[in-house]
Chains A and B, each alone.
Chain A
Amino acid sequence: MPLIKNGARLQDPWFAVATEEELDRSGPMLVPLALWQEHRDRLVDRVGPIGIRLASHESPAAIAGDLERFDLVALEFPKFTDGRAFSYARLLRERHGFTGEIRAVGHVLRDQIAFLLRCGFDAFDLDERAAAGWQAATGAFSAWYQPAADADAPIPARRRYAVPARASVAVIRSEPVQPPAPEPAACAANWAY
């Protein structure tokens, strides 16, 4: 399955650990939550990057205290209809301030990619068909109604800042147009609505 990260195809540098024995390997290592919890003492001293893999019933709350140790959090989709990881990703980004890679693994449809990006995923294990449709899947909408974990200004903010509906948006988050609103300070912190 092709790995797509930040929109580009990559060779996956991570080794997916399945058994205890494999924990002795070197190099970037993706560890399931159960193995991490069982061997945490030994793994915290490891040199080399560690990623954690969470099943869809495993909330990131379980690893909140250890997040700085991880370069990657992989969130599983056992089937595409299991949408728990959409919340998990937003919590990782917005609540816990996780800045590493958040990867969607398992059964993900091409037509979910835009939502996943908005929730903070930046890497995807996709099948060939979904990977081939990347452009169409991510370019369908120029703006969305609600704030999420992505950098795009949502429609309410664009309305307030008078940004055209189809304009490129990354700019306005770093350099907002001077708002006409009465409380500029409040708006800066709270500019989605």
Chain B
Amino acid sequence: MPNTAITANRLADGFVIYLTADGGWSESLADAAVATSDDELEGLQAVAERAARAGTVIAPYAFDVETDAGRPLPRGRREILRTLGPSVRTDLGYQAARS
């Protein structure tokens, strides 16, 4: 199974968030919990579904990540853009907020 992380959008502002190992959510993919087996993935998905039912996050889903020294990196244009914000407004997206 490819390495997998879980992402969603936050209810309050719609921002992209990632499920962390302690069951919380972070704006940074670097903090995401990475599942390496089906069991781990199911565990994470159960946590995410609970959060969606509680209404704090919207539409969680699992996606494949590469790992570089244990750090998850996005694959594919869509997930890359979700971690970065709009490529055409690097002054305004998440990049700007984080720098």
Does chain A touch chain B in the assembled complex, meaning CB atoms less than 8 Å apart? no
Residues of A within 8 A of B (CB): none
